Amino acid sequence: LFQCCFKQGFSSKKEKLLGEMSSTGIKPNVYIYTIYIRDLCRENKMEEAEKMLELMKKHGVNPNLYTYSAMIDGYCK
């Protein structure tokens, strides 16, 4: 569902879904954060991607190779 929102470009829905996950006690995992970060990078929203990366770490979710790869791809654009 989350990835579908990104593929369809429903930015407001993905933000709402992430908020709903947190408010219902569902902790987003590395996969969810990475999808979000990857999409921000594709939209050339690097400041937002950096903030999301920091939020991810703050919530105890460790970035993985795919997370950092998305960031690097974003910086190279």
* Residue among 8, 12, 6, 72 at smallest CA distance from 33: 6
Domain ranges of the chain: 2-75
In this prediction, residue 34 carries a pLDDT of: 95
Q: For the chain, which residues score pLDDT lower than 50?
A: none
In this prediction, residue 9 carries a pLDDT of: 60
In this prediction, residue 77 carries a pLDDT of: 83
In this prediction, residue 16 carries a pLDDT of: 78
In this prediction, residue 7 carries a pLDDT of: 62
The span from the CA of 9 to the CA of 13, in Å, is 9
